[in-house]
Amino acid sequence: MKGVMIQGTASDVGKSLIVTALCRILANEGIKAAPFKSQNMSNNSYVTLDGREIGRAQGIQAEAARLEPTVWMNPILLKPRSDQHSEVVFLGRAIETFSGSEYREQFYEKGIEVIKKSLDHLKENFDAVVIEGAGSPVEINLKDREIVNMRVAELADVPVVLVADIDRGGVFASIVGTLDLLETQERQRVAGLIINKFRGDITLFEDGIQWLEERTGVPVLGVLPFVENHMIDAEDSLSLHTQFSNTKKGILDIAVIQLPFISNYNDLEPFLFEEDVSLRWVKHVSEFGQPDAIIIPGTKSTISDLENLKGKGLDRLIQKHVDHGGLVVGICGGYQILCSELVDEAGSDTGAPNFTQKGLGCIPAITTFYEEKKVNRVIGKYHKCTGLPENQQLVGYEIHLGKTVLTKKGFPFLTLENGADEGYFAKDGQIIGTYLHHLFHNDEWRNHWLNMIRKRKGIPLQDPTYIRNFKDNKYEILASKIKSHLKWDLLKEIINQGSTR
């Protein structure tokens, strides 16, 4: 198989972003290259056209490659539900929740089997594959049953490029230490090194490049700059937190409740393109302040995160905000948290059947959790009772357990393609609940909602910011920037060599 595997000396060294850039560079050269990650751990998922879940990163990488994402690009997705348990999404469908030890003991052979099947599918349908590793390939305590790094490179029989993050310090030790801890046959598979997140004058690092190549015998394929404000969807909340903290302080103050098991936080990223918006995380009462609006995002463990809010006293501040006319939007799990009552009939949210918990009571509704998970892409229009343009489409996707039913007469937010009512809309949009992820990626809706805030603050209304016009361009900018700092001809030769020596 032609291709390459991007592994890292640690987590968060930039593997996902580099794979995204390589997918676009190859696509621009007429090479149909598929992204692949055998196993992803993230609550930020992507819904494929056939209504299945994969890691958000692989969905974005496929977009960069100008491909339609499929489950073969990420056959195993682990979605954390607690500190020790994760839901296993297998070929796009949730199958079971395991503890870490249970997963290692029971899932290894099944994992290897589906990885082989996925790689065979990609080999048959694409010119090359760009594989992303996870964490470090030398986690010694996990190495005997790992299915994310060197074992995958061996199954695909592709060369490995090792990436290190110079911004965190210790780059020489991290590279040399990683290579020294690899077994001989694994070490021979490493065909190149990439130094990522470099700041400053590259000429000051030339001696470092020479030392690394002489010490390891492996060529340095590039020293990549620290790419700030790249606007590529984040895979984890740490990345998104960094993007939030780097934004300017706009006049519109939007507080995002930081739930412990927050999911699909890319719902918030369109606000990063809005010049007058300031997004900030709120994790504690001391951070709440007096926001213009609150967003409660999705969560993988709704009742647990609701109890966390109550334990911190944030529930009372949210209720007070709403009582005083403040705007609030709850998306998916955030919608459920705003309801009057949550009933875990099947034990699918808490693990305890028939567990009941009072919600924040901002929406007169009961959410009941069943066993079956709903995953699909959605197209809807504003419900006629909202007073919004009924012919305007909103697109997004649903990923959730549970059904929410209003207990008092209220207006739905949307009417879906199948004619079903969806969500909750009250007081001209002051309170909104919806299962529609990517709600704010709909430019006209996002502009309408922000203009509601602008009107309340007595500042000029604005025309929509059409971020969809920027989406493809951001892949081009990233690819151009990364390629200009790579020894691209050498890396391309490594990718095209197929099987390793």
- The catalytic residues are 332, 437
The residue assigned the tokens 């299915």 is 147
The residue assigned the tokens 């760009």 is: 130
- How far apart CA 422 and CA 433 sit, in angstroms, is 9
In our burial notation (b when 16+ CB lie closer than 10 A, e otherwise), range 231-244 reads bbbbbbbebbeebb
**Alpha-carbon torsion, ordered 276, 278, 279, 285, to 10 deg:** -140
Pairwise CA distance, residues 124 & 120, whole Å: 6
Considering only CA atoms, which of 146, 119, 130, 136 is closest in space to residue 4? 130
Compute the distance between CA of residue 111 and CA of residue 91 in angstroms, rounded to an integer: 11
Q: Quick one: which of 198, 273, 195 has its CA closest to 229?
A: 273
Token representation of residue 231? 């606007």
Cβ neighbors of 121 (< 8 A, separation 6 or more) are 72
DSSP string, 372-433: EEEEEEEEEEE-GGG-S-TT-EEEEEEEEEEEEEESS--B-SEEETTS-EESEEEGGGTEEE
